[in-house]
Amino acid sequence: MILNMAKTHEIGGIENGIYYFVVQDYPHISASELKNAVVFIRYEKLYGRETDIICIDKQALRLIIDAAANLDITEMPAEKFVYHATDVTAAKKILSGGKLLSAVKVYGKTGDELAYNKRNSPWKDPADFFEYIMFCGGDQTTGDWVVLSENIPSEDDLEKGKFNAGVRFYFRYEDLKRHPKHIHDGYHPIKVKDEIVLSDYLHSCIVPDQYKSELEYLILPEIAQKVHYLSQNGLGIMDWSERVYNFVEELEIR
């Protein structure tokens, strides 16, 4: 994998084996950004991959290399909430089965098989990624983009709310840290290997209202009170994401 850090990166992400690493005040790396870079390098090494670091600024490059060898990381940059998003078909199985499963568990295939099947996707995730349930920050749109990636709506439809948002499964970051199979990879805020039992960890599930009739009769009793329905009301993808996150935060004070 390649860790590419440059001033020109406005949006980070992994594509075609390259992690486009965003630094807010390039070339000055914050403490949290440095931790993420180091954890990414160490995660890659855990799975037998070396990381090539591309960075024009020599001082920043030296800082990352030295930190990867010497930095003692006990705490990662924390999110209050993280979520995993799915389409409605997957949500039916999750809410009726009471578990979030990794792709390996869902499809009964190896990570290598799934990575090969997805070899033409823009991300080209390595095999081990399919062994984990991956999360994004609670206020980000990343989850919806993943759900929509098979059939991305037009920019106009995204702005006018003419798209089917994903079902979001929200968790407190601190709760997931208690999961015995959680790990940090420097890219996702956190991820969990194999499975998560919803009754043990779920904070809330936010369902776009258009799916209510398809899902409400499938939900297990032990998690039913944690499932909430919100209308998109023609909201664009950014406004929808903001509305959902505000609702999740409000649940904390009810």
Q: What is the pTM of this model?
A: 0.93
How many other C-beta atoms are found inside a 10 Å radius of the C-beta of residue 89? 10
Domain span at 16:
2-70
Q: What share of the chain has pLDDT > 90, as a percent?
A: 79
Interval 62-119: pLDDT, tens: 999 999 999 988 788 788 999 999 999 999 999 999 999 999 999 999 999 999 888 7
Q: In what order do the strands lie in the sheet with 132-134?
A: 132-134, 191-193, 182-183
Instruction: Kindly state whether residues 242 and 164 are assigned to the same domain.
Output: yes
Per-residue model confidence (pLDDT) at position 9? 67
Span 119-127, mean pLDDT? 78
Instruction: Kindly state whether residues 108 and 43 are assigned to the same domain.
Output: no
Instruction: Kindly state whether residues 89 and 131 are assigned to the same domain.
Output: yes
Alpha carbon distance 47, 42 (integer Å): 9
Strand (E) or helix (H) holding 74: none
Interval 28-68: pLDDT, tens: 999 999 999 999 999 999 999 999 999 999 999 999 999 99
Q: Would you state the structure tokens that stand for residue 127, as one six-digit string?
A: 């095999």
Q: Which of 119, 59, 60, 14 is nearest to 2 (CA)?
A: 14
Let me know if residue 185 belongs to a domain: yes
Domain boundary pick from 25, 44, 70: 70
Instruction: Kindly state whether residues 121 and 219 are assigned to the same domain.
Output: yes
Let me know if residue 76 belongs to a domain: no
Instruction: Kindly state whether residues 102 and 61 are assigned to the same domain.
Output: no
Per-residue model confidence (pLDDT) at position 91? 97
Instruction: Kindly state whether residues 103 and 190 are assigned to the same domain.
Output: yes
Give, as one character, the DSSP assignment of residue 28. B
Domain boundary pick from 70, 105, 127: 70
Instruction: Report CA-CA distances (Å) from 211 to 50, 103, 106, 223.
Output: 44, 23, 22, 17
Phi, psi of 233 (to 5 degrees): 50, 40
- Strand ranges in 173-251 using DSSP code E only, listed in sequence order: 182-183, 191-193, 195-197, 204-208, 227-230
Q: Would you state the structure tokens that stand for residue 55, as one six-digit string?
A: 């960075």
How many other C-beta atoms are found inside a 10 Å radius of the C-beta of residue 54? 14
Let me know if residue 75 belongs to a domain: no
Strand (E) or helix (H) holding 127: none
Interval 225-245: pLDDT, tens: 999 999 998 899 999 999 999
Instruction: Kindly state whether residues 51 and 155 are assigned to the same domain.
Output: no
Let me know if residue 47 belongs to a domain: yes
Q: Would you state the structure tokens that stand for residue 19, as one six-digit string?
A: 């992690």
Per-residue pLDDT band at 139 (split at 50, 70, 90): very high
Give, as one character, the DSSP assignment of residue 17. T
Let me know if residue 7 belongs to a domain: yes
Per-residue model confidence (pLDDT) at position 122? 66
Q: Which of 222, 226, 135, 205 is nearest to 177 (CA)?
A: 135
Instruction: Kindly state whether residues 119 and 53 are assigned to the same domain.
Output: no
The DSSP secondary structure of 54-70, one letter per residue, reads: E-S-HHHHHHHHHHHHH
Instruction: Kindly state whether residues 95 and 14 are assigned to the same domain.
Output: no
Let me know if residue 161 belongs to a domain: yes
Structural domains of the chain, count: 2
